[in-house]
Amino acid sequence: MNSPRMPHDDRLPAVGRRPAAASRNWCSDWCAGWNDFWFTPADPLPLDLIRIATGLLLTWSCVVWLLDADAFFGDRGWLRPDQVWRMNDQPWQWSWYFAARSPTMIRVFGGIALVAAILLTIGLATPLAAIVSLLGLVSAANRAPLNAFGLDDTLGMLLIPLVIGPAGSRLSVDRLISGVEQGRGGGRSVRANVALRLLQVHLCVVYFFSGTGKLFGASWWEGTALWGAIANDRYRTLDLRGLAGHPLVVNALTLATLWWEVSYPALVWPRLTRRLCLAMAVAVHLGIGLAMGMMEFGLAMLAANLAFVPADTVRTLLRFLPRRWSVSDTLPGTSPDLS
């Protein structure tokens, strides 16, 4: 005679399956979250604002390159073509300036980069202008590495998302020419979200490694690092040496800057702390720009931080624009939040 199974025997298989089911649910939720993060259609309005800021800074940079094109890119300039590899420790560097055999051709290539930057700013033939602008920036940085600094690196970080996303779909001449109305959807697209997310993640990586790199310096632990910049006559544009009599203020500013950079990747995502994090970005980068003469770099970093500003906030700030720009086509609340 077969003995009846105990009630708890029926539950054993279910209990045994719980860890596997929980693991599958976790993987499914993680994959869904990953897809939502990267591939949810987003309003491209912030990307257009970033395009305008990037185009203006790139135009200024191209003008500076052209002011002394022979010294930057010429065969008898500050760095001869056959010596470029020594600066980058690479045997091969691509640059269209290597193909320039005369001062005229150097200026032609520089002019192409300048025209592309202007077109990118106004949003005319935007996809092509973004690609040519990126090629021009890479060409200049690879040919003249002695003169490539943080501004050039940041412009490269900004141009890649502009190449990927629909950066000319809203505040652009392309939009005026096409006359296409966005309607209630606001022209949201997956490419716009991918471009903005790429810039957001890149920005978090830059700040995190910049902050952790500072942790290797004793002056940052001591809270005196900013005083080294204030007392440096070579970079100082504002005389802040009066802070020598207020060491606690210098300590507070130094440690606050360090804390902000290290914690940026964690604090910029939650809505509760995002505004504080972005406000700190404005204070830090404008402070560096005004006090150390690196305003272009500071403005470029602030342009990158626009990737974290929601489209509805940008739309509110741009309500003074003419109706034909259709900034307010999307109703409030219809664009996905980038949190």
The stretch 63-84 carries a mean pLDDT of: 89
Above 90 in pLDDT, residue 92?
Answer: no
The model's confidence at residue 321, banded by pLDDT at 50, 70 and 90, is low
pLDDT given at position 90: 65
Contact between 277 and 289 under an 8 Å Cβ cutoff? The reply is no
The model's confidence at residue 322, banded by pLDDT at 50, 70 and 90, is low
The model's confidence at residue 244, banded by pLDDT at 50, 70 and 90, is confident
Q: How many CA atoms lie within 13 A of 167 on its CB side?
A: 32
Q: Which of 183, 224, 202 is nearest to 328 (CA)?
A: 183
Contact between 226 and 257 under an 8 Å Cβ cutoff? The reply is yes
| pLDDT tens sequence across 196-231 | 999 999 999 999 999 999 999 888 988 888 888 888
Taking CA atoms, 242 is separated from 135, 230, 231, 237, in Å, by 45, 10, 10, 14
Above 90 in pLDDT, residue 23?
Answer: no
pLDDT given at position 47: 95
Above 90 in pLDDT, residue 319?
Answer: no
Supply the Cα-derived Rg of the chain in whole angstroms: 25
| pLDDT tens sequence across 263-313 | 999 999 999 999 999 999 999 999 888 888 889 999 999 999 999 999 998
Partner residues linked to 189 by β-bridges: 42
Please state which of the ranges 15-24, 294-303, 325-334 shows the lowest mean pLDDT: 325-334
Number of neighbours of residue 256 by Cβ within 10 angstroms: 15
- The CA distance from 250 to 35, in Å, is 44
Helix (H, G, I), strand (E, B) or coil at 224: coil
Contact between 148 and 189 under an 8 Å Cβ cutoff? The reply is no
| pLDDT tens sequence across 98-126 | 988 899 999 999 999 999 999 999 999 99
Domain ranges across the chain: 40-179+189-321
- The CA distance from 321 to 121, in Å, is 17
Above 50 in pLDDT, residue 88?
Answer: yes
